Copies of this chain bind each other. A is one copy, B any other.
Amino acid sequence: MRDVCVIGLGLIGGSVLRAAAAVGRQVWGATSAAADAEASVAEGFDASTDVAAALRRAAEREALVVLAVPLTAVEEVLRTVDEHAPSCLLTDVTSVKTGVLTAARALAPSARFVGGHPMAGTAESGWRAGNAALFGGAAWVVCVEDDTDLGAWAEVARFAIDLGAHVVPLTAASHDEAVARISHLPHLLAAVLASVGADGGPVAMALAAGSYTDATRVAATRPGLVRAMTEGNRDALLPVLDEALGRLGAMRGSLASTGGLAVSINSGHEGARALADARQATPSGVRVALGAPDARDGLRALGERGGRITALADDTVIGEVR
């Protein structure tokens, strides 16, 4: 198994470091955040604040380099990768994929880059918030572009599966559009609701029950993290935000005019059912041979149909579609 070098030791990077160690990988980490490095070392991990040295070691040992820095720091770290481990096998765990892909192509052009995004997290951040089990049962998007090296892709996918996740193969653009809907819009609506709720003063806070608590939970996330993901996914998020505004405006219009909200509420109920159905459907098996000429199309089609990859055997991807 290839060694692993993790750059960035916050919630996600720190969890990758722990999880990789737990499955027996040789793993070391580096971060510019001294507190995270210290906390990591205190728990017995091989970590430091010397990112360049960690990358030189990755180059020597042909390790998989995992970029787990905030989106706003990705460009700077890519330049460091290009300087110290220019041709490494490289992936990232950032919540926006198109921007990182563009930056990787421009700033670390010799790296064998495969974008990734584990759909796991909490409202917490920093090393101490992480744990080795964070990726268990989670979806982990591993990007497939027309020029993706499928050997590199398979190594990153196998790593995600080793850490307990299932892999969803998608283009960066398709990922960004989907997460705008199911992650970035929820963060923005939670912020709207938390603001409107708090404007109601102590009475509103005293009456807030489950529906409010659940719907505003992610508004407690560190604002810098939410800004990075939403502002970093601007192009995909704007049309989704317009769709939400259109739907909310239609509700407002209906309530003010006829007083009836049946269409909007029924649509939301159908949406809730779509999620429940997707989760309860009986899966059917799918295989994709990575050596086939249309392997990239086959992988992306699996992802687009809501499928997941649960294992890689030799050069065959084993997955399921619900």
B-contact bits for A179-196, CB 8 A (1 contact / 0 none): 101110111111111111
A268 touches B139 (CB 8 A): no
A255 touches B237 (CB 8 A): yes
Query: What is the CB-to-nearest-CB distance from A250 to chain B, in angstroms, rounded to a whole number?
Result: 9
A306 touches B202 (CB 8 A): yes
With A178-B200, A186-B212 in contact, do A192 and B275 touch (Cβ < 8 Å)? no
With A193-B185, A238-B256, A271-B191 in contact, do A265 and B223 touch (Cβ < 8 Å)? yes
Give the chain B neighbours of A221 by CB distance below 8 A: 269
Within 8 A of B (CB), among A57-99: none
**A197 interface residue, CB < 8 Å from B?**
yes
With A237-B255, A248-B188, A260-B231 in contact, do A182 and B195 touch (Cβ < 8 Å)? no
User: In the assembly, how many copies of this chain are there?
Assistant: 2
* Chain B residue nearest to A230 in the complex (CB): B261
**A220 interface residue, CB < 8 Å from B?**
yes
**A203 interface residue, CB < 8 Å from B?**
yes
By a beta-carbon cutoff of 8 Å, the part of chain A in contact with chain B is 119-122, 138-139, 141, 168, 170, 174-175, 177-179, 181-183, 185-221, 223, 226-227, 230-231, 234, 237-238, 240-245, 247-249, 251-252, 255-256, 259-262, 264-276, 278-279, 303-308, 322
Could you list some 30 contacts between A and B, CB below 8 A?
A168-B206, A170-B203, A175-B207, A181-B199, A182-B197, A183-B207, A183-B212, A185-B196, A186-B212, A188-B265, A189-B248, A190-B215, A191-B251, A191-B264, A192-B251, A192-B264, A192-B268, A194-B269, A194-B270, A194-B274, A196-B243, A202-B322, A206-B308, A206-B322, A211-B218, A219-B269, A220-B276, A223-B262, A234-B259, A245-B245
